[in-house]
Amino acid sequence: MNYPFRYVPHPLVVDAANALISRIVADSALDALFSEGKMLGVLITDAGPLYAFSGLAGGKADVDGFVPPVLDLTKGYFKQREAEISAMEAGPAKSAASAALQDWIFENCRVMNGLGLEMSVKDIFALRGLVPPGGTGDCAAPKLLNYAFRNNLKPLWIGEFWYGASPGQEIRSQGRFYPACTSKCGPLLTWMMQGLDVEPDPLDAAVSSPAEPQILYSDDTVLVVDKPAGMLSVPGRIESKSLLEWLRERFGSPVESCHRLDMDTSGIMVYARSLQAKSELERQFASREVSKAYRARLCGGPWNHALQGTIALPLSLDYYDRPRQMIDTERGKRAVTRYKVLQIMPDGTVDVMFYPLTGRSHQIRVHAAAERGLGHPIVGDRLYGGASTSAEGLGSHGVSLMLRACGLAFRHPADGRLMSFGEGV
């Protein structure tokens, strides 16, 4: 089975998703349940496809044609106790009763894994010293796997995609596939997949043998390097050599980081060879004196935007689904990107140059994918809906993120002369 936290949907998953979308569109009652926006899931088994939805659909936990919930909270003890708690006066007793009911949910939401074992959500998270977030076990993926295990079906491939209106904050568009969330489904699915033959995390494979970095310029003050995709800019959670470490091995210390690129993004970076140079370069980045250009290939589909313009959408970290970012108009940090369409390709994909005026994490990726941005994810972006093929058939491409930091211009920290590398700056 594919790794559900970072994957390219299998063609059979895409076909099954297309069939489900067609069925929903043709059935007005079914469309009404999902049109406000819902994550749907497909699991291909040895007996055919299974379907699920996250949470409730129009207040319903059970809908014909979809697997049942792990624990139905629309009836029985939960509804009775919920009504009793709602009638209580606000205070410590009501808070304690609510906490106890939530604990009851986690104890009674029991799932199976590929080894044939059964365990409660509460105990699964306790194995990691964690408390499950609310709603754990109610996403499409755990519903699908739990149903398959309880009915002696063999899971083959899985995928989750969005149907209906896009939410205000999360980056979701109809028909596009997204990875399972890391907070609720991370510990849960990892336990449930025990006993299955699951593909390794593609992220680990990507960093195991990245291409060799290329030195574009070097002197006693700065190093300008072309970072390959799949290599970290600085040491991180993955046990793989970062570009900073690679440079220190070759040039000795000090070599200091001044800015970063996402691991999946290739392109031009500058490193300082002294703390004084680092300070000056960081000042230039902070004051927006550095010019940056990125080139990207966006997924196809109707282009309903100007051929050039500016996107201004504030961003913040999605704490429940790291490392994804989300649009946050209340607490998000200002993020501004200029763009210019270079060419709409024969296959419908779009060749675009981006010029970020701020430097937020995943800024270009989110501005490209968000419906309030361009609504066209970057090809190969498995976090934001650009993974290979969409359920609406918007094209098929390779798995690499097609985003490159193609141009960089700054003032030399020692003598102030303009240093320009690549294109677009």
The Cα 297–Cα 346 span in angstroms is 13
β-strand pairing of 266-272 with 403-411 = parallel
The answer to whether 27 is a known catalytic residue is no
Q: Which one of 262, 264, 318, 321 is the catalytic residue?
A: 262
The Cα 130–Cα 123 span in angstroms is 9
Instruction: Confirm if 52 and 143 have CB atoms less than 8 A apart.
Output: yes
The Cα 132–Cα 112 span in angstroms is 17
3-state secondary structure the chain: CCCCCCCCCCHHHHHHHHHHHHHHHHCHHHHHHHCCCEEEEEEEECCEEEEEECCCECCECCCCCCCCCCCCCCCCHHHHHHHHHHHCCCCHHHHHHHHHHHHHHHHHCEEECCCCCEEEHHHHHHCCCCCCCCCCCCCHHHHHHHHHHHCCCCEEEEEEEEECCCCCCCCCCECCEECCCCCCHHHHHHHHCCCCCCCCCHHHHHHHCCCCCEEEEECCCEEEEEECCCCCCCCCCCCCCCHHHHHHHHHCCCCEECCCCCCCCEEEEEEECCHHHHHHHHHHHHCCCCEEEEEEEECCCCCCCCCEEEEECCEEECCCCCCCEEECCCCCECCEEEEEEEEECCCCCEEEEEEECCCCCCHHHHHHHCCCCCCCCECCCCCCCCCCCCCCCCCCCCCCCCEEEEEEEEECCCCCCEEEEECCC
- Residues annotated as catalytic are 262
